[in-house]
Amino acid sequence: MNDTSGTIAESAADPFLDASREGRLLAAECRACLHLFLPFGPVCPRCWSINIGQRELSGAGEVATFTVYRQSYHPDFSVPYVLALIALVEGPRMISNVIDCAPELVRIGMPVTVRFVPRGDLVLPLFAPDSSPTRNPEPQGENP
């Protein structure tokens, strides 16, 4: 139970990562002002309340900004890959990867939806383009 060998995965008694293993995306929710935020923390960044709970999010969002990594800094990440700031529809923003999309096709404002992807001992919430017609209306017959 108390293995303290010190890896990130083993020390992750983290509701966010635990929920990811179950295929759920969680944000911290301030019980005082209802602000949703990520990453989880003990204090609301808006009102400084310590009365913090959690809420499950839809997993829908859009690319707020991104960069393309073409050099590998970790063997788990093969290049090229997209590091993006995802603006979730409920309000929180989080850093993640955009997957299942060629890096040159990623654009700011692109609708994305969460995909839970095993990486080592973790399951990470990554984001793929959301092509559902309700979220990404495209002109008929026009594909860039």
Q: Which residues bind Zn ion (CB under 5 A)?
A: 30, 32-33, 35, 44, 46-47, 49
Strand, helix or coil at 140?
Answer: coil
Q: What are phi and psi of 4, to 5 degrees?
A: -115, 40
Which CB, 32 or 68, lies closer to Zn ion?
Answer: 32
Instruction: Read off the amino acid at residue 15.
Output: P
CB 98 within 8 A of CB 117: no
d(CA 98, CA 77): 12
Shortest Å, Cβ 90 to Zn ion: 15
Shortest Å, Cβ 49 to Zn ion: 5
Integer angstrom CA distances of residue 69 from 78, 89, 98, 124: 9, 26, 11, 18
Which CB, 35 or 63, lies closer to Zn ion?
Answer: 35
Shortest Å, Cβ 27 to Zn ion: 13
d(CA 26, CA 60): 12
Shortest Å, Cβ 91 to Zn ion: 13
Which CB, 51 or 136, lies closer to Zn ion?
Answer: 51
Which CB, 32 or 85, lies closer to Zn ion?
Answer: 32
